[in-house]
Amino acid sequence: MSEVTLYLPDEKAMIKLGARIAQVTEGCGLIFLDGDLGAGKTTLSRGIIRGLGHVGAVKSPTFTLVEPYEIGEVRAFHFDLYRLVDPEELEYLGIRDYFEGDALCLIEWPKRGAGFLPKPDLTITISPHNSGRSLSLLPQGSRGESWCAALALEFK
């Protein structure tokens, strides 16, 4: 499957898509989130994390770089690499440990971690579109392809 483009009118739709992504991923995998400041990366992440069953606040990890979530048997990690000065800093963070096992990792600003991040299952690029957002979902392997197929059916 090739790239899928979705058009979402508002924040509510972004949260709904996030919840659906949580379902199709079953709480496992690696998703890169690209887009300019204010594009909706954290809003989509909030929808995903809440879709996994988290009921508390979902804050942006802009200053902490990573926010962990333990949701029953599911482990999710939300990264924001915007303030990363050098990708090598990820080694000091123990970045490789986060990708072991069955966790869901959401990474905002993945280009800032180039060379230290594994290949994602899915890259989502968010852009302004009319009064809403355009999301380009680019699968990077069979897992991402199956996710895109499921999401395309519901959101096209």
CATH code assigned at 38:
3.40.50.300
The predicted structure's pLDDT at residue 62: 76
pLDDT tens-place string over residues 67-126: 999 999 999 999 999 988 888 889 888 888 888 888 999 999 999 999 899 999 999 999
Q: In terms of Cα–Cα distance, which of 131, 114, 108 is closest to 58?
A: 108
What total number of domains does the chain contain? 1
Domain that holds residue 80: 4-153
87 C-beta neighbours (distance < 10 Å), count: 16
Strand-pair partners of 60: none
pTM: 0.94
Q: In terms of Cα–Cα distance, which of 135, 80, 136 is closest to 113?
A: 80
Tell me what percent of the residues of the chain surpass a pLDDT of 70: 98
CB of 108 within 8 A of CB of 43?
A: no
Name residues whose C-beta falls within 8 Å of residue 68's C-beta, 6 or more positions apart in sequence.
75, 76, 77
